[in-house]
Amino acid sequence: MVSKQLTLTNAQGFHMRPASVFATAMGKYSCDVTIKFNGNDYNAKSLLNIVAACIKCGSEIEVICDGADEKEALEEAVQLIESGLGE
Amino acid sequence: MLNGTAASDGIGIGRAMIIEEHSLDYTPKTITDTDAESQRFKNAVKIFCDNTTAQAEALRKSTGDKEAEILEGHIQIMRDPYMCGEIEKLISDGQCAEAALEHMCDMFITMFSAADDELTKQRASDVKDIKTSVLSILLGVNEVKISAAPKGTVIVAKELTPSMTAGINKENIVGIVTETGGKTSHSAILARALEIPAVLSVDGAAKKLSAGEQVIVDGNEGIVIASPEESQIEQYTQKRSAFLRERRELENYRGKKTLSASGEEYELFCNIGKPDDAISAMEFDGEGVGLFRTEFLFMDRNSVPTEDEQFEAYKKAVLILKGKPLIIRTLDVGGDKDLPYLGLKKEENPFMGYRAIRYCLDNRELFKTQIRAILRASAFGDIRIMFPLVTCVDELRAGKELVEKAKEELRESKINFNENIKIGVMMETSSAAVIADVLAKESDFFSIGTNDLTGYTMACDRGNSDVSYLYSALQPSVLRLIKNIIDCGIKNNIPVGMCGEAAANSMIIPLLISFGLTEFSVSAPSVLKVRKVISTWTKAEADKVAEKVMSMSTEKEIYDYLKTVI
């Protein structure tokens, strides 16, 4: 299992479009991908779960990947979030 | 005659098509062949996705990307691995596909509805729309095919959902009537994008109108006439052609810069009262918002809105504007705008009394809360602050000092905001106009509020019919003040705009061009008209008119002369 703490910097927070970019990207990996936010776990391959988490700009989140391709998944997750999720 | 909300301009005359809602009731049953049930669910999802993709494509051609993206979002939601996974699990536990789908959709609808932010809340209606579509497919209920409506159809429905509106062919649909929805609802925005006249919130429309009945939809006035008389049809047919002629003419100005005939460029902004109004500002091709009245946030409630509530509202407006400027006027309470929970005393003379910046500077916590909210929202776009009813430079200084204090606090809490936020004065008192030279040295911009400026300068209540004849922005005194404000702005190199009604007045526009106004802020529906009027004047011609006007002694002379030149 690998994980990393990150700050969400895109202006709109995790709304439909950024959430969908993220969930689609994570869907390619076989490992489990979880976002820890405010003490709750959210399935990061599910756009609905991410949107329901209501994560706003400036929030601290932890991305946890667990499974065969966890390293690659985490790397892409970090890169996506740091680049502002395509906004 | 039925009354409703005028939601999309224009006149439509056609025959009613009533969109009835089919019952989506079913009896939940226990499934034994769970594999077959799972396949039935998968097939329904596939049909849903295929239909929606086709609708999105059609919509992209008719109204553009934004509407199509809503539908593409629906496909992504329905394909969500978590949602589908859970539904499959419920099915393998023996639930029927309908019940499993409904269970999961309802879970997300509840979750989204409970969210504390507007954007997430809106997702609930998306999930509802999806649920209805997929349930219809599973139950074999045919959704009404609006796409098959014949030429000259007036659609009458309880509510228009995005998937329904996707089928609208603007060649065939001449009007829309619904029982729910306001000016900023999805149906209204779509109707305007398609330029189909629409009257919304017509009580019981689907029952009161019958299928095939002839109907007139007056989207300008918010009126629906069922089975009209011959004379009414004739009258509305004429109205319709006049409307279309004018619209066609004005459409030539859409997407264009605001230029005078001699090539000077102006900014053409809109006045708004709610964050959602920014949507119509964009639809009507406004280049920004020159006046966002913030009173609405404080009205119809029992306490002052919190910093977060205000922040969300300002942020929403500035995000809608996508980088275009948003001038926010701080709370203009008092005068004719009372908020019972503030406990303002009744005054003998409220317009001369405890209002606007005077009240705010005396209630610093309330004022600072608003300023902090505006500053926080300034991290998301081009927001500027404007103080109302300034009469002396002390008020401007005190306001700016409070902004500095709020900035300091935000810095300490490491909250982002625009460090260089522009602070301007709404020039609406005679005193401010006379000392415009002093104020200009300490302001980043001016915006002239002609309504109050005229009232204060003429010492005249426009609502009092005994004296309202004095109320005119064409009074020589008012014009001199306007000219002085603009002159002082030019000398000090700050932009001067106008957000009063005069900015859209075709008689006054040449004078403003001559004086050197740089920004016109008008109501959204006036944007194209004002752009057209500005385009008819060269600076030299406007100068000639202004010179003549400024040499005249009475309002009547000025009025009569301007009538002859426009």
Which superfamily does A2-82 belong to? Answer: HPr-like (3.30.1340.10)
Report whether B127 contacts B75 (CB < 8 A): no
The C-alpha atoms of residue A24 and residue B81 are separated, in whole angstroms, by: 10
Closest residue in A to B112 (Cα) is A52
Tens-digit pLDDT profile for residues B383-404:
999 999 999 999 999 999 999 9
- Is there a contact between B73 and A58 if contact means CB atoms under 8 Å apart? no
Mean pLDDT value of segment B64-76: 79
Q: Has residue A86 got a pLDDT over 70? A: no
Quick check: helix, strand or coil at residue B318? helix
Strand partners, B423: B385
CATH top class, domain B21-139: mainly alpha
Cite the DSSP H helix spans in B322-465.
Answer: 356-362, 364-377, 393-412, 430-434, 436-442, 450-457
Q: Which residues in A lie closer than 8 A to residue B119 (C-beta atoms)?
A: 12, 15-16
Q: Tell me the torsion sign for CA atoms B511, B514, B517, B522.
A: positive
Environment class of residue B90 by beta-carbon count within 10 Å: exposed (0-12), middle (13-18) or buried (19+)? buried
Contact call for residues B283 and B322 (beta carbons, < 8 A) = no
**Quick check: B72 contacting A, CB < 8 Å?**
no
- Interface confidence, given as ipTM, is 0.85
SS3 A44: coil
Neighbours of A69 (CB within 10 A): 14
Residue whose token pair is 């929202």: B377
Nearest-CA residue of chain B relative to A42?
A: B82
DSSP conformational letter for B169: -
Q: What residue of B is the nearest CA neighbor of A27?
A: B81
CA-to-CA distance for A43 and A35, rounded, in angstroms? 7
pLDDT at B42: 94
Domain ranges of chain A: 2-82
CATH 3.50.30.10 location in chain B:
152-161+171-240
Q: Please determine, looking at this structure, whether the domain spanning B152-161+171-240 carries the CATH number 3.40.309.10.
A: no
Of B73, B77, B120, the CB nearest to A54: B120
pLDDT tens digits, B498-529: 998 899 999 999 999 999 999 999 989 899 99
Q: Give CA–CA dist B424/B327, Å, rounded.
A: 9
Of residues B477 and B70, the one with the higher pLDDT is B477
Task: Tell me what the mean pLDDT of segment B533-541 comes to.
Answer: 97
CB atoms within 10 A of CB B414: 7
CATH architecture assigned to B258-565: Alpha-Beta Barrel (3.20)
Tell whether B76 is within 8 A of chain A (Cβ): yes
Interface test with A, best of B65, B82, B314 (most A CBs within 10 A): B82
The runs of H, that is alpha helices, within B161-289 are: 162-165, 186-194, 205-208, 230-251, 277-283
Distances (CA, A) of B438 to B311, B447, B449, B513: 32, 15, 18, 23
Residues B453 and B430: beta-carbon distance below 8 Å: yes
